[in-house]
Amino acid sequence: MALLPERSDVRQLLGRLRDAAEWGWKGGADNDTEQVSWRDGVQREPTEQEYLDEQLLLDDELADGESTRDDQKSNSASAIGKTFGNLNGPERDSMLEEIMTRMGAFNERGIIQELEDWKTRTD
């Protein structure tokens, strides 16, 4: 194996590629695949190409997320001063997502959690 691009975090990529696999971390550079101690007898360790491909997917998701956040901010801003019934779909979606985010509705992967796992108030 080898060093991945400096922005890469092998542990994050492993979580995406082999979510249930058993492995350990020896320490060292976050982008060094040699730091993985593979312990899983069922799944094989990802290849260097799989790591690189997953990093490209992650990069694309992050870039898409930035433009989505910009759109959400714009839609939320345009909703200010309107009644709920006068909001258009994107404005309503943006406001709902903002409220749900503040209420802790999403887990670390962006999946909506059970209602009882949401915060009970905002600060």
25, containing H or E segment: strand 23-25
Torsion angle, alpha carbons of 16, 66, 63, 11, to 10? -30
pTM of the model: 0.53
Range of the domain at 94: 10-117
71, containing H or E segment: helix 48-79
Residue 2 in any domain: the answer is: no
Residue 22 in any domain: the answer is: yes
Token couple for 96: 């709902």
Number of C-beta neighbours around residue 98 at 10 A: 15
Residue 27 in any domain: the answer is: yes
Instruction: Report how many domains make up the chain.
Output: 1
Residue 38 in any domain: the answer is: yes
Residue 43 in any domain: the answer is: yes
In 3D space, the residue among 77, 112, 76, 105 whose CA is nearest the CA of residue 92 turns out to be: 76
Q: Is the pLDDT of residue 123 over 70?
A: no
Residue 1 in any domain: the answer is: no
pLDDT tens for each residue of 53-91: 999 988 888 877 676 777 778 888 888 898 989 989 988
pLDDT tens for each residue of 2-24: 789 888 889 989 988 998 889 99
Residue 71 in any domain: the answer is: yes
